[in-house]
Structure formats: structure tokens, C-alpha cells
Amino acid sequence: MKTRPRLEDLQIGDTIPTLSKVVRREEVKAYADASGDQNPLHQDDAFAQSVGFPGIIAHGMFTMAHVTKAVTDWVGDPAGLVAMDVQFRAVVFMDETLEAGGEVKAVDPETRRVTLSVWAAVERDEKRVLAVKNSTAVVRLD
Amino acid sequence: MPLNQALVGKEYPALTMEVDRDAVDRFAEAIAEDGAVFRDAEAARAAGFPEQLAPPTFPTRMQIAVSASIAADPDLGLDYTRVVHGEQAFEWLRPVHVGDVLTAAPRIADVRAKGPLEFLVVESEIRDAAGEVVVRARTTLLSRGPGGGAS
């Protein structure tokens, strides 16, 4: 079992490990079924093209789930996640590599709560595109 | 057509859902959540939880359903085909687990316009069978202007 972060060891500006995965069409289809979000934007290339995208896009919540996993993997305790607030700022296409991470913004020894800024990004046309930004997570480290 | 601001504060019918193992398995699989407590009841119990845990964003299932029903309210004047998900917040008071019977009570928290975009904010308190709040969810939908937006 990996070591959990200790509040006493944290510094403002510390980063959590980046979590990376390739977004696969099968996963996005599975997410549509598992979440109940059957919007054709996430399933039908012709429909997605009709509204100006090159093909289907991942659900925002698919991306948020990845950000959440980056945070809970770092905390090591599923009950340690207190809150998260994310803004979806760019779409994610199939076969792109989605990365998620975070940075320590505040540490409160009194409540044992740590506030992180969190993000998700893809590399597109040799540019880094933030799919999630201006977003935060709050965790409790016991 | 601008959204109907008079609906801010309106409450909508509650939605109840039992968290069943198959749904949790499929959700965890779809988001590549391989943590043992999200996949296996024994592992979850060994970690001190009563049952296999649902991944934190699992209540998305409920929030999507209630947001869709609100977005379809003809009094609101929203074209749901032009709507994208702009922002999502969750507050977790405890992890959701298999066997929980959850009830989401949704309301319109805000309706506002910013330039060509219109925002609809739906908040839900999600309670367990004992009536305790387990998760608070806030979903911001926006009508997509020219050039696309988020997802």
C-alpha cells in the first residue's frame, strides 16, 4: 500500500502526481451507459460534426471523474474527499491523452483540510489545452 | 428566448435510486477506477466501509436525470439540444456505497445570462434512507453559443 500524504509535510505549491490516460471511444460509450447521459454529442460522430466538432467528445463528467481519481489516488482514502468544483473549459476528443493533476493552495491544521487547485489537460496540435481549469478540490487528511 | 428568471428557487420532484452493484461496477469500469474499495465488497470492508464504494462522481447518474427533467420544463424556455455542461460541484459528507437508497431533491438555484450565453444552475441535496445528507451537487448548464463551448 502506498504512503498517504501527511498534512505536516505539505507545502503550498506542492503538486500531486499527474494521472494520465488515453481516452478511448469504448470507454466514452461505456460512460454514456453507466452515467445515463446519452447525448449524441458523445456517441454519434455525424451529430458531433453537425455542431462543429471533428468527432464525438468525452463527457465533461468523464473528465471530472479522471480529475477526482487523481485526487483520491493521492489522498489514499476515499473518505478523505470533501468537495470539488470544476469548470469545463475545453472539449476532449477520442484517442487524446488526458492528464489530470493538482497543486496545494492552502493547508489548515485545525480542520485537517487541504485545498488544491485541480486541472485536466490534453496535448493538441503541439499545444496544451486545459479541459478543466479554475477548479478546486478540498480533502481531509487524518 | 431568454430563460424564465421567475423559476429561480423552484423545486422539482425528488428522484430516488438504489445504488446497485452492477451499476457501480459499470461506472467504475467506464472511468478506469481500479481502486479495490470501488471494485470489491471485501476490500471495502477491510478498509472500514460497510460495502463496496461507489466512485465519488457516481451521483452524476442522479444529477443528470434531474437536470434533464428540469431542462425540459416548458416554463423554463431552454433548448436542451444546445446545452452543454459548464461547471460541476460536489460536496461529499460520506462515501456512497452499494445498497444505499438515495433521494435527490433538485431545485433551480440560479438562472442568468452572460453575453450570448445563458446559465442554468441546478442544486440537489442527496439524502440516504435515514434522511441524512450524503452529497450536495451543483450543476451549471449553459446554452452553447456560436463556436462551441464545453461538454
Model ipTM value: 0.95
Distance of CA A104 to the CA centre of its chain: 16
Task: Please report whether residue B109 resides in a domain.
Answer: yes
Q: How many CA atoms lie within 13 Å of B35's alpha carbon, on the beta-carbon side?
A: 27
More confidently predicted of A91 and B83: A91
Task: Please report whether residue B123 resides in a domain.
Answer: yes
CATH, domain range A7-24+58-140: 3.10.129.10
* Nearest Cα residue in chain B from A81: B92
pLDDT digits (tens, 9 = 90+) for A22-52: 999 999 999 999 999 988 999 999 999 998 9
pLDDT tier at B95, thresholds 50, 70, 90: very high
Q: Where are the domains of chain A?
A: 7-24+58-140
What burial letters (b/e) apply to B86-116, b meaning 16+ CB within 10 Å? bbbbbbbeebbbbbbebbbbbbbbebeeeee
d(CA A41, CA B79) in angstroms, rounded, equals: 15
pLDDT digits (tens, 9 = 90+) for B25-81: 999 999 999 999 999 999 999 999 999 999 999 999 999 889 888 988 989 888 777
Quote the minimal CA–CA distance from A105 to chain B in Å.
Answer: 18
- B74: domain CATH number is 3.10.129.10
Task: Note whether B89 contacts A84, CB cutoff 8 Å.
Answer: yes
Task: Please report whether residue B62 resides in a domain.
Answer: yes
Task: Please report whether residue B95 resides in a domain.
Answer: yes
Residue B81 is predicted with a pLDDT of 73
pTM for the whole thing?
0.94
Task: Give the cell for residue A37.
Answer: 447521459
On whether any CB of chain B is under 8 Å from the CB of A33, the answer is yes
d(CA A56, CA A1) in angstroms, rounded, equals: 38
Three-state secondary structure call for residue A70: helix
Task: Note whether B35 contacts A89, CB cutoff 8 Å.
Answer: no
Are B26 and B60 in contact, with CB atoms under 8 Å apart? no
d(CA A118, CA B151) in angstroms, rounded, equals: 18
Of A53, A79, A83, the CB nearest to B148: A53
Domain boundaries, position B13: 5-19+54-143
pLDDT tier at A2, thresholds 50, 70, 90: low
User: B127-131: long-range contacts at Cβ-Cβ below 8 A with a sequence spacing of 24 or more?
Assistant: B127/B102, B127/B103, B128/B100, B128/B101, B128/B102, B129/B100, B129/B101
pLDDT tier at A64, thresholds 50, 70, 90: very high
pLDDT tier at B1, thresholds 50, 70, 90: low
pLDDT tier at B150, thresholds 50, 70, 90: very low
Quote the minimal CA–CA distance from A9 to chain B in Å.
Answer: 24
